[in-house]
Amino acid sequence: METSRVKPGFNGVGAGLDGSSRRGGYMGGVGAPAAGGGGRGAPVDACGVALRVFVLAATLVSAVVMGVDRQTRTIQITLADTLPPLQVPVTAKWSFSSAFVYFVVANAMVCLFSAAALAACRRRGAVVPVMVGDLLALALLFSAVGAAAEFGILGERGNSHVRWAKVCNVYGAFCERAMAAVIVSLLAAFANLVMLMLTILAIHKHSSYY
């Protein structure tokens, strides 16, 4: 296997796919000429700009959609036959459920981290914190999706064993918006997973074990 020694920090065009023009260390994207995740050559970019931008956008969207989710319905309560029915406004807000609160907070945290990682990932010393943060973001996103989806399923179907009635027949739009936010967050979680997988591929490519 021919190994052409290139200066560290210089990434020639098309040097990413075979591992032979780069030795040592795991530094995918330092000096790479605007390797924006596609384009010419290095898919093993340590920064993964395209995927990270998608994660940023998707978590932002899902946090915002869940954060403004509320619905007010007026239901009629009949006290007696002679009196006109009472109109009682009832509200469903996202903050009524701690699972949704955790969902919004987790998505906001991952969004902030993605922004910080996009700003800092070209630096040499930022590789390890970015990877640690990516793993934590993975765990956060998937757990947020799990918790919010669980609450959504309980709202959709109720639970007959525990005698919990379903809620989504009354609050249809609220449930739909929450479900949309959860799905978008799930897409962000999978994008984070793919980004981490690409990072691991980059690590394994650049470590010459043999």
Partner 1 sequence: MDLEHGSKKPPAAPAAAAPTRNKLLQLRDRLVAVQPVVLRAAAALAAVVAAVVMALNTQSYTAVVAIVGTRPLTQTFTAEFRDTPAFVYFVIANAIAGAYNLVVLIIRRLTLRRRTASLVVHMLDMVIMALLATGAATAASMAELGKNGNLHARWNPICDRFGSFCSRGGIAIVSSFIGVALMLALNLLSAAANAHRPNMAGQ
Interaction site with partner 1 (CB under 8 A): 23-26, 92-93, 96-99, 131-132, 135-136, 138-139, 142-151, 153-155, 159, 161-165, 167, 189, 193, 196-197, 200-201, 203-204, 206-210
Kindly state the smallest distance separating residue 199's Cβ from partner 1, in Å. Answer: 8
Residue with tokens 């609160």: 101
| Nearer of residues 13 and 18 to partner 1, judged by Cβ | 18
- Min. distance of Cβ 34 from partner 1 in angstroms? 24
Compare residues 82 and 163 and give the one whose CB is closer to partner 1.
163
Based on CB atoms, which residue is closest to partner 1, 32 or 144?
A: 144
CB of 190 to partner 1, least distance (A): 9
Residue where the block lists tokens 């978590």? 59
Q: Which is nearer to partner 1, 86 or 200 (CB)?
A: 200
**CA–CA separation, 128 vs 115, rounded Å?**
16
Q: How far is the CB of 85 from partner 1 (least distance, A)?
A: 20
Q: How far is the CB of 19 from partner 1 (least distance, A)?
A: 11
What amino acid occupies position 133? G
Q: Which of 31, 202, 13, 26 is nearest to 123 (CA)?
A: 31
> For partner 1, which is the closer residue by CB, 13 or 68?
68
Cα–Cα distance between 151 and 133 in angstroms, integer?
27
SS3 of 76-134 = EECCCCCCCCEEEEEEEEHHHCHHHHHHHHHHHHHHHHHHHHHHHCCCHHHHHHHHHHH
